[in-house]
Structure 1
Amino acid sequence: MSFRRISALLATACVAVLLGSAPATAAVPAPPAGFTTVWSDDFNGTANTLPSSGNWIFDLGHSYPGGAGNWGTGEIEEMTNRTQNVSLDGNGNLRITPLRDASGNWTSARIETQRTDFAAPAGGVVRFESRIQLPNVTGAAAQGIWPAFWSLGDAFRGNYTNWPGVGEIDVMENVNGVNTGYGTLHCGVAPGGPCNEYNGLGGSKSGFSPTLQGGFHTYAVELDRSTSPEQLRWYIDGQQFHSVSASQMDATTWNNATHHGFFLILNVAVGGSWPGNPTASTASGVPMTVDYVTVSSRSGGGTTPPPAGGNRDAYATIQAESYDSQVGTQIADVDGGGKKLGYIANGDRAVYNGVNFGSSAAHTFAAKVASGAAAGVSGLVEVRLDSATASPVSTIAVANTGGWQTYKEVPGSLSGVTGTHDVYLTFSSGQPSDFVDLDSFTFRH
């Protein structure tokens, strides 16, 4: 971790959730003190309908396209988007239901968030949380049943070959109906490596009353970049039971696993390398019931940039710190007054909504940048439109400008752009170190 990225902030407090006689459904809770809700789904809607396709992607079959078979874990079910396997219950809950047909074949469901940008800001914290009742079966009736609430690094979507280096944070897993919740970080290389793959760096907690199968419990993880070293913490019902620190591995492995956006996943697998396969005694048709999923964050340094509200003039100077969303960067001071977007390294990005280019095409992108990066450290600032994965329409290269407060305007050609777009600035480098600070940018005809 670069020294420039370390921010000395207080560690986040967690909010205990007392369940006992908790109701079967509850409103999405307010975020912990100092946090802001980034996204949530309360699963309200008509019974026996699918969850919102605006929020969720439905994974289908036995693998991602071109990915490892049986989802890479040996599980045997076919994932579907049929309401028999995944639906709202009409009472504010989602049900994911594994089913066995007359021939002994299993189906279930696996959904993941459309958004892939749930990230801890530099110097801040992100929290993933869900309230869930696990399938209410135990013993022989639960053999092979594997419910989970987890996340994968954003670069996995569409690639499917970069696991575990891209990072997997398992907020909750459970197998075979035991009264134990598991939390794990997968990272590095497999097999072996600094994260002990294929097992990962895991922890567990047991002895819940009601059991995890007998009632709702709240599962959460916090990725905390406000501490030094940075840390992941796992909670069940507000009680921490596991943590992993950046000091447990090299900086590159940690950064690759955590310094980016994530997408969230809910699924119930059947069979696989961990629980083993189901038997004739395994119960069919018992759902995992999810009350809500929520993501909240606390910004680094207590500074929140002003949103632009989707009304920007492409030909005016756009201040870099006025982003609408970002991953991996931090707002810093400019000598002599003002702010800039700093601590920028490989994989970071910033998004500026509603940039209006008009009807006369823009052909130049110009950025005011500074860099005090070491010799040999450089990188690219890329302009993409409407998506972080769109092809760049402009690219500029940045190396040391003489210091982090020594600014230089660097222009780049731009494929003729008209209309109104969300502008994604993405940053890439062959080295993990910070390589650029961005003061402002504009476009020209």
Structure 2
Amino acid sequence: MLSRRSFLTTAGVTAAAVSPLLSGLTVTPATAAAPWLPISLQNNSGNATVYAYISGADSTGWPGFVASDGRFHRLPNPSANLTPAPDYSFQLGPSGSAPTTLTLLDYVIGGRVWFSVGKKIQFFVNPGSVPGLVQPGLTSSDPNWQTNWTFCEFTYNSANLYANISYVDMVALPVSMQSTGSAGNQSVSPLPTGALGSIASGLRAQHTADGAPWDQLVATDSSGGVLRVLSPTHSPTDFGSYWNSYLNSVWNYYQTHTLTIDTQSGYGEFSGTVVNNVLTFAGLNTNGVPFTKPSAADIFGCASGPLYNSGGDARGAVTARLGAALNRSTLLAGGGSSQPNGVSPSQYYQTATTNHYARLVHKYATIGYAFPYDDVGPTGAAPVDGHLQDAAPTSWAISLGAGSGGTQPPSGGVSAYSTIQAETFSAQSGTATETCSDSGAGSDVGWISAGDWLKYSAVDFGSTSAFQFVARLASGAAGGVSGAIEARLDSTTGTKIAEIDIASTGGWQSWRTVPANIVASATGVHDLYLVFVGSMSDFVNVNWFTFTK
């Protein structure tokens, strides 16, 4: 089974190096895909300024971009390293406006559709026999580090359109896709509202719990807003001995027990035990790379050390399933001696030592690979990736957002004295929305803990100050867990105009209307921030709020 990984091209690595992998994901078409495809690019992010790009390679592996004429334009081969690439950006309309459309007139392999908010992405080119397109990297020294960007991947050739969303490298701004064609109408849903912040909060909490550098995976902008969450493969801090205790237990167990791995292919099953500290499978040629205890980097990346994957052979099939079992920490679970069919998805990530990035991605995202070989699973299990594939597509639509930024306030702002639904935020960090059982409610905002915030743009307090801040709240927090909601003007650290302290109300849908007096004058139009302080555990849900005079 071939993993639909995310292939991050770094400095000096060309698109040609990754295109054979993506282009291998094909089906036998009833009708060959035409050398043209209508494409639409839309901004549904809640942001006013969004740029899009379409990059990839032609059939020879030469990198370039698709321009507004629909043609693939090869990059020139520069004479010096890190030469800025030509600007092939599309500036999209404001959020919710009509999409930008074009007709793709050339096949593109190893492609990506990029989006950035507020400013353009900086692409560069390195010289070579085939020039190398240098794309945004995942280190703080990269010139795009403070740019809010994201992407989806695709290949479009005579066999098919294959496009996917992956979280193998990172979780960032949400992207959604739709296509029409011989395979019917297909769609891939975006990251749910608030999921990015929830994953970030979960990793910070995990760092507090076990001391491992999960918090270092959260990349923020200058004001503390979450830009992206990196996978452990790109961690700026080494995880060191994180897996050692778990690996010692696994290796000790399989000295006296047998581990059987079904390759789910023509290679059949292989059974093995630990002999002289090496996991040894009878009849398996390890190509000179024995299964010794892997490092943290080996486990997270599934591509190095003993988890080096030799590709389309028996060792590669065994490695993929062993790597998946380690990331999910299922080798000591009930049925774990039979991989991957002996354990169900409900058993994944249940130990203290596990890939908590993958655990949280799957907790908050409905689709998307969280590590290489996340496609491994029990035979017949539903796939977890987010992809669409059509042998003869007739349209492809890609959107940034699809509701990810919440419902925007009306043009000209919203009255502070109206009932403001919590889920109509214009930006947020750390929260998520859910169905609300309160009278007349559709959704509320929950999964709120210290450090989270909600932003409401252009709230109009009028010419005289408000008197009270009133909010509809619920809490199912444990005894002794409490927190506060601060109403602040213009930033998360701006003037605090009110504060509500809250503890358990008896349940996450047990709603109470709670007032608090205004402690500082609030007049005119401001961006309003609800900032949550106190408990690092979830402590409150918010349905709506308002101000009174």
| TM-score, normalisation: structure 2 | 0.38
| TM-score, normalisation: structure 1 | 0.45
Higher helix share: 2
Q: Which has the higher contact order (CA 8 A, sep 6+)?
A: 1
Higher strand share: 1
* Structure showing greater Rg: 2
